[in-house]
Structure 1
Amino acid sequence: MTLPVALSGSDVIGQAKTGTGKTLGFGLPLLERVTVPADVEAGRAAPEKLTEAPQALVVVPTRELCQQVTNDLLTAGKVRNVRVLAIYGGRAYEPQVEALKKGVDIVVGTPGRLLDLAGQKKLDLSHVRSLVLDEADEMLDLGFLPDVEKIMKMLPPKRQTMLFSATMPGAVIGLARRYMSQPTHISATSPDDEGATVANITQHVFRAHNMDKPELVSRILQADGRGLAMIFCRTKRTAADIAEQLEKRGFASGAVHGDLGQGAREQALRAFRNGKVDVLVCTDVAARGIDVEGVTHVINYQSPEDEKTYLHRVGRTGRAGAKGIAVTLVDWDDIPRWKLINKALDLPFDEPEETYSTSAHLYEILSIPAGTKGILPRADRTRAGLRAEQVEDLGETGGRGRKSAPAAAAPAATEERAPRTPRQRRRTRNGAPVADEAMAVSAPAETPKAAAAPEAAEAPVEPRTPRRRRRTRASEAVVETVEAMVPAPAEEPEAPKRTRRRIRAADTAVDTVEATVPAPAEEPEAPKRTRRRTRAADTAVDTVEATVPAPAEEPEAPKAPRRRTRAAKPAEAVAEAAVAADAEAAPVKTPRRRTRAAKPAEAAEVPASAEAPVAADAEAAPVKTPRRRTRAAKPAEAAEVPASADAEAAPVKAPRRRTRVAAAAQPES
């Protein structure tokens, strides 16, 4: 149905079920419409139409499909000698660029690499007369639609555009309306074929537990009449895991998923087509357009995402009129998803039957021999396996897939390698070279250096003078720290320098000691009247008189002046001297004196008999108690002095003083 419309040059939207030959539906018109040297020689075309740039472009979503379409077009165009080139990622740029320079007629490629080479001006799209979008809905699902639109803008406005797919969602129809001119929509179905899937595909749906699925799949793969089988998984990790488990169980299995390099993916597909591998575990990357002859079983290990994915998975079997079996294993968590797929495709499997690897109905439905276990018997392991297929060096741009090389080639490559010359090092011990170790580390005799100079190898190794190192700041700091830790030799300490502060402190200590010594019982000789002793005695007498309460008939004493000190402490109780009998008539003023750091003398214990000489001197030369200022003076303690008869006669009232920092001292009674 497509050939007459496509050969006339009209735009076509082709929709048909999987396995009905869509590749040749657009491939044959492309091969007929391109101009080759044979057409010029036969006179069917003018020489001006002959060009080295591509005249037709086919855009596909996956690399595997790109390679398959290229092979089909090369087979069909062999008679006309049409040059077809596959351009896709995962391969080196250089071979593809060299092929474009030599000239091609049809380019089949994936959107990413096509856009890359066109942006680098390596691919000329100005002479393209026909454009084909194969599996257009898959390109839309993979997010290739913006790249496809960029490619279509680089093409000439006058061209033929054809879209082919098994499913046509609304977005693809919108793309067709935007970039196509009056397209003809062709939907090919057989009169006796109902439903979305091909009639000769037998479908089975089982509810299976996730932990029992590997055992269940292993027994299905041993069914009678089973040829090649494809197992589809949703995730790349699951595909790699199942392929490894099946290999351990004795099956010749291979994997195709996105985490493998392009060389490993093509190796698995070649081994599958050649029959070296009979089980191919893959993700949905291999569900589109892959055509392998002899696939009898398709197993959906995990439930597909939607109904379109289910159709493309199942369509890998039952192709070109052959029969096939499709088995879908639905886990308990996937039941809601499967019900939506079942309703969309109008299938009779709304409630899948619960099935395990030991269920009797499983053996009966799929024709599995009784007594089959999950491990393939050794007598049935006749396939060569994946390692029998060599990995082609594609000059991959990425680093993925290198570990997929056959392990048998690794030992041979290791044996051919020449021994590596070890790096020579000089060993020292405490700055001196070690001759034995230097000889032991030296290069072996079979190295090129030792063979070139045998005399140098036999010469004795002279000890190398150790390099002298200078100590850095850190080392000097360590030396200073050690010196600081060593105690200095005991020397006779020098006498402290006599400063003004030390003299004051010594004098104050002497006065304090003298004040604390009690007076003897007998009347001592009158001490020599010095200036300092006079001050201490007067201060002590005034302090004692201030602490004695005044009698009721005490005459009114003159009020002492109000004085303020900055750092003096209030324990220094200084009273006005009224020792003599005529103190009432002629009060005496004491001179004002100031000291900086002198400590107040503590009041000495003066006996009652000592008042006589003091009073006699006071009459002759009345003395005023000096005012002293100290910064850190400690409060003087009041001395215990017995009350005298004169104190009762002439009591003196203690003056009121204010201090800022000093605390009140409690005199002793």
Structure 2
Amino acid sequence: MEEASILSTTTFRDLGILPETAEALEAVGITTPFPIQEMTLPVALPGNDVIGQAKTGTGKTLGFGIPLLERVTVPADVEAGRAQPEELCDTPQALVVVPTRELCQQVTNDLLTAGKVRNVRVAAIYGGRAYEPQVEALKRGVDVVVGTPGRLLDLAGQRKLSLKAVRVLVLDEADEMLDLGFLPDVEKIIEMLPAKRQTMLFSATMPGQVISLARRYLSQPTHIRATAPDDEGATVANITQHVFRAHSLDKPEVVSRILQAEGRGLAMIFCRTKRTAADIADQLSHRGFAAGAVHGDLGQSAREQALRAFRNGKVDVLVCTDVAARGIDVDGVTHVINYQSPEDEKTYLHRVGRTGRAGASGTAVTLVDWDDIPRWQLINKALDLPFNEPEETYSTSDHLYELLGIPEGTTGVLPRAERTRAGLAAEEIEDLGETGGRRRSAAPERSERSERSERPKRQRPRRRTRAGKPVDAPEQPESAAEPAAAEAQAEADAPKAAAPRRRRRTRAGVPADAAAADTAPNPAATSDEPAKPRRRRRTRRSSADIPES
């Protein structure tokens, strides 16, 4: 849950939200809104369409979450006299579309927290899990659905999800849905909704295609772009950024030393590829760090196991790809390390935004390989950063120790005295009934098919036969004489069709032997009987017999 900032003296109660919602937020220590929340709530609470843009980590979830929750009618509203009983329904009244599973879980948790006092029913609908629990939750009745486009379309196509009563639609991280190719699916979902509704679109960046999407489906939206008074750059001001030019073979050593910096809490390491993320997580585990991995090659059970272990403090290093660059809101993340240069400036902003959230301070370190210098310079120019020529850095460089507060004498292996975390294995893995062909977990079990393939096969003895009779049959002792005789008798009694039939050469429908007998000279024949002429066969000379011209 994103906490409130101390930049404003206005409270959520001052903005006119329901007392039950304010009570639920105060129970978790949230009383003062962020700028994006303070500017959005007066516009969104009456039901106007909104385009919200703010930096990652500045409270966009509550910016659309509070107006969404207050547009939903629940039994608590009937008891308080704010609604009539006929306004209640069991089908979803609000829909939030998000691009990733991790962000779906994060938004669901935030909405459950804010709507706890009013007992708002929120369901998370996303892929990688079994259909049955989600379908059962929809049958019991939900007020708000948070989901990814693929699973939402799937359940709606099976008529398990009804969207006819949706009053509020929220598109969260629309630019990421554009990058992942989800915009056609999002448009199909929008066409299933009632024409009369409130639509809110929130994102950290607004590419042209997202703006055109907003123009098509939003009615006279108010574009809100909120920043803090002392925060002028593209990234949050309280994040200290470092960019180093590092060799790929030395990066594991550099990362191992950064993870031993003074004051380091939880850390997230971002990689471009799934293979690199898995490899770095294994290397750090061998070096003594409590590390987990989140990437697309893992099953949903393993991904959620790693995230739970990270939130619970059983692991303090999470190695991940960009699937975790959005939606991961964990308290205590002090360091973000870009093990590989991001693809573009948007990815960089979302990676770095995992730290320095809700007014806290953080450190972001980017390791740029020699081949990635041109890509990084484009990012640096787009964000107007002062790191156009990163300093060449190795694991033994003095400035690395000095800038990041690494104690002298630190090596690439965590001392045994500091290995106090329980580790990933201490977090139980949950059976989610995963869909799809790739189901992987932290400790995969061998399948029944692989076990059968490893069993020794029973060899069947081979017997040499000729014309259906055994050849070179070994002599058998007297004790085995009777079975052998019985077997021989059985073979003799078997029908002749069992033995392979020999082919006979024929000529014009007459057996070859008979034809030869007919054409052979017969001394007993009289001279008056003419000899039967022999048929000539047409032949074609081979190419070897044809003379060269």
**For this structure pair, what is the TM-score category when the shorter chain's length is used for normalisation?**
0.7 to 0.9
Equivalence for 2:226? 188
Following the alignment from structure 1 to structure 2, what is the Cα–Cα distance between the partners of residues 294 and 173? Answer: 34
Contact 1:306 1:341 in 2 (8 A): yes
Structure of higher CA gyration radius = 1
Matches within 5 A, 1:134-145: 134-145=172-183
Partner deviation per Cα, 1:495-546 (whole Å, 9 max, x = no partner): 9969999xxxxxxxxxxxxxxxxxxxxxxxxxxxxxxxxxxxxxxxxxxxxx
The equivalent position to 1:91 in structure 2, one of 105, 129, 149, is: 129
In the alignment, which of 307, 313, 317 is matched to residue 345 of structure 2?
A: 307
Against the structure 1 CA distance between its residues 331 and 471, is the aligned structure 2 distance closer, same or farther, given a 3 Å change threshold?
A: farther
2:247 and 2:497 map into 1 onto residues whose CA distance is 72
Residue equivalent to 1:230: 268
Q: Report the CA distance shift for 1:86/1:463 in structure 2 as closer, same or farther (over 3 A).
A: farther
Q: Which residue is equivalent to 2:410?
A: 372
Task: Give the 3 Å change call, closer, same or farther, for CA 359–499 of structure 1 in structure 2.
Answer: farther
Distance 2:278 2:459 in 1: 46
Deviation at 1:51, TM superposition (A): 0.7
Match of 1:355 in 2: 393
1:285 to 320, 323, 336: 323
Equivalent of 2:307 in 247, 265, 269: 269
Q: Which residue pairs with 2:379 in the alignment?
A: 341
User: In structure 2, how many angstroms separate the alpha carbons of the residues matched to 1:426 and 1:140?
Assistant: 61
Counterpart check, 1:258 vs 2:293? no
TM-score (norm 2): 0.77
Report the 3-state secondary structure (helix = DSSP H, G, I; strand = E; otherwise coil) of the residue aligned with 1:210: coil
Q: How does 1:451-470 map to 2 (within 5 A)?
A: 465-466=486-487, 467-468=490-491
Could you tell me how far 1:210 is from its partner in structure 2?
0.9
Q: Offset of 1:30 from its aligned partner? A: 1.2
CA-CA distance at 1:422 after TM superposition: 11
Structure 1 distance, partners of 2:164, 2:484, is 77
Question: Judging changes above 3 Å, is the alpha-carbon distance between structure 1 residues 381 and 462 closer, same or farther for their aligned structure 2 residues?
Answer: farther
Q: Tell me what 1:395 maps to.
A: 433
Written as runs of structure 1 = structure 2, the 5 A alignment for 1:87-166 is 87-166=125-204
The answer to whether the 8 A contact 2:53-2:204 is kept is yes
Counterpart in the other structure of 1:39: 77
User: What secondary structure, in the 3-state scheme, does the structure 2 residue paired with 1:85 have?
Assistant: strand
Cα deviation code 1:364-418 (max 9, x no counterpart): 11111111111111111111111111111111112424342378xx9xx9xxx9x
CA offset digits 1:27-86 (Å, max 9, x no partner): 111111100012122321122211111000000000001011111111111100100000
Which amino acid in 2 is paired with 1:346? D
Change (3 A) 1:479 1:278: farther
1:137–1:165 contact (8 Å) kept in structure 2: yes
Per-residue deviation, 1:463: 8.5
Matched-pair contact (CA < 8 Å) for 1:387–1:406:
no
Give, as a single letter, the amino acid of the residue that structure 2 aligns with 1:31: L
Match of 2:53 among 7, 10, 15: 15
C-alpha separation in 1, matches of 2:460 and 2:182:
61
User: For structure 2, which runs of at least 5 residues remain unmatched after alignment?
Assistant: 1-38, 465-469, 477-481, 506-519, 528-549
Read off the aligned partner of 2:52 and give its amino acid letter.
Answer: G
When residues 474 and 368 of structure 1 are mapped into structure 2, their CA distance, relative to the original with a 3 A threshold, is farther
Instruction: Look up the SS of the partner of 1:402 in the other structure.
Output: coil
Partner of 2:333: 295
Q: How many residues align?
A: 454
Q: 1:495 to 1:14 in 2, by over 3 A?
A: closer
CA contact (8 A) 2:293 2:320 kept: yes
**Residue type of the partner of 1:365?**
L
Give the conservation status (yes or no) of the 8 Å contact 1:428–1:434. no
Partner of 1:381: 419
1:142-195 deviations in Å (ceiling 9; x for gaps)? 000000001001100110000111111111111111100110111111111120
Matched, 1:241 2:275: no
In structure 2, C-alpha distance between the alignment counterparts of 1:114 and 1:325, rounded to whole Å: 37
- Asked if 2 retains the 8 angstrom alpha-carbon contact of 1:203 and 1:326, the reply is yes
For 1:304 and 1:472, locate their aligned partners in 2 and report how far apart those are by CA, in whole Å.
74
Deviates more, 1:394-403 or 1:79-88: 394-403
Aligned to 2:106: 68
CA distance in 1, matches of 2:283, 2:425: 16
CA RMSD of aligned residues (A): 3.2
Amino acid at match of 1:333: D
What TM-score do you get using the length of structure 1 for normalisation?
Answer: 0.64
Alignment correspondent of 1:177: 215
Match of 1:320 among 343, 354, 358: 358
* SS at structure 2 position matched to 1:211: coil
Do 2:49 and 2:222's aligned partners in 1 also have CA atoms closer than 8 Å?
yes
CA deviation after TM superposition for structure 1 residue 219, in Å: 1.1
Q: Does the 8 Å contact 1:433/1:463 carry over to 2?
A: no
- In structure 2, how many angstroms separate the alpha carbons of the residues matched to 1:49 and 1:40? 9
Cα deviation 1:456-512 (Å, max 9, x = unaligned): xxxxx98894352556687554999xxxxxxxxxxxxx99969999xxxxxxxxxxx
Give how far 1:290 is off: 1.2
Question: Any gaps of 5 or more consecutive residues in structure 1?
Answer: 436-460, 481-493, 502-669
Secondary structure of 1:78's counterpart equals coil
Matches within 5 A, 1:471-490: 475-477=500-502
Equivalent-residue separation in structure 2 for 1:105 and 1:156 (angstroms): 16
Structure 1 residue identity aligned to 2:164: S
Q: What displacement does 1:218 show?
A: 1.0
**Alpha carbons of structure 1 residues 474 and 333: separation in structure 2 relative to 1, 3 Å:** farther
TM-aligned CA distance change 1:465 to 1:161, over 3 Å: farther
1:426, 1:433 within 8 Å by CA — same for their partners in 2? no
How far apart, in 1, do the equivalents of 2:462 and 2:150 lie?
Answer: 59
Specify the code of the residue in structure 1 equivalent to 2:247: H
1:210-225 alignment to 2 at 5 Å? 210-225=248-263
